[in-house]
Amino acid sequence: MAIFSVYVVNKAGGLIYQLDHYAPRADTEKTFSFPLDLVLRPHDERVVVAFGQRDGIRVGHAVLAINGAEVNGRFTADGKDVLEFLGNPANYPVSIRFGRHRLSSNEKLMLASMFHSLFAIGSQLSPEVGSSGIEMLETDTFKLHCFQTLTGIKFMVLADPRQTGIDALLRKIYEIYSDFALKNPFYSLEMPIRCELFDQNLKLALEVAEKAGSFGPGS
């Protein structure tokens, strides 16, 4: 039972707080011999699987480590280009770890603003007047819950689909925000939240919510 992350977005759509509480790391490490039966290609700053999905390695997974050493973007730990390294039969057999790459803070900023825009579109398209906007986005691996306050701040929580009590958690996060961010003389409105007490209390609240969550298989 887990709460994956918390995002707080301000009135203008900018991300002001982000916390990764639990990241389900589904990495797969396998040993390969030449030739590699996966097709890899460069994408942004990473080397990504383009074709050849098998055994837990999905399309879109990035190369995370080669022979145990973490790769640095498109280069191995020693500075060699990953694709060149893997194209040379002399380097085999090689053990490669694939997995979903962690989002960089820039990407998180962009995604938060995108969600802000979708939220606005959603509430305008709604046939009802005074729509509350997108409250929940459900997929088969996670649920994204969103709560917009009267002042336009959005609190988003990504959690396991079986986790209950997220509504209460969103209200609690709102309370914590109004206590430790708004009553802090050193916090300016709409700016990134950098308050120790806010972090501490938020983590406590997440732990309480996780423990009280529903009991499902594999918790």
Partner 1 sequence: RSELSLAAFALLFSELVQYCQRRVASVAELQARLAQLGHHVGLRALDALVARERPGRRETKVLGVLLFVKGPLWRALFGREADKLEQANDDDRTFYVIEREPLVNTFVSVPRENSSLNCAAFAAGLLEAVLGASGFPARVSAHWHKGTTLMIKFDEAVIARDKSLEGR
Contact residues toward partner 1 (CB under 8 A) are: 179-180, 182-187, 194-198
Give start and end residues of each alpha helix (H) in 94-195.
105-125, 166-176
* 75 Cβ contact partners less than 8 Å away, ≥ 6 residues apart: 81, 82
The pair of structure tokens assigned to 79 is 């500075």
Give the bridge partners for 192, in sequence order: none
Report the C-alpha gap between 199 and 201 in whole angstroms. Answer: 6
> Least Å distance between CB 104 and partner 1?
23
> Least Å distance between CB 78 and partner 1?
36
In the complex with partner 1, the residue whose CB is nearer, 28 or 184, is 184
Report the C-alpha gap between 56 and 65 in whole angstroms. Answer: 16
In the complex with partner 1, the residue whose CB is nearer, 147 or 198, is 198
> Least Å distance between CB 198 and partner 1?
7
> Least Å distance between CB 202 and partner 1?
12
Residue type, 213: G
User: Cα separations (Å) of 176 from 22, 115, 130, 181, 199?
Assistant: 20, 23, 26, 8, 9
In the complex with partner 1, the residue whose CB is nearer, 96 or 195, is 195
Give the bridge partners for 157, in sequence order: 6, 145
> Least Å distance between CB 194 and partner 1?
6
In the complex with partner 1, the residue whose CB is nearer, 37 or 196, is 196
In the complex with partner 1, the residue whose CB is nearer, 131 or 151, is 151
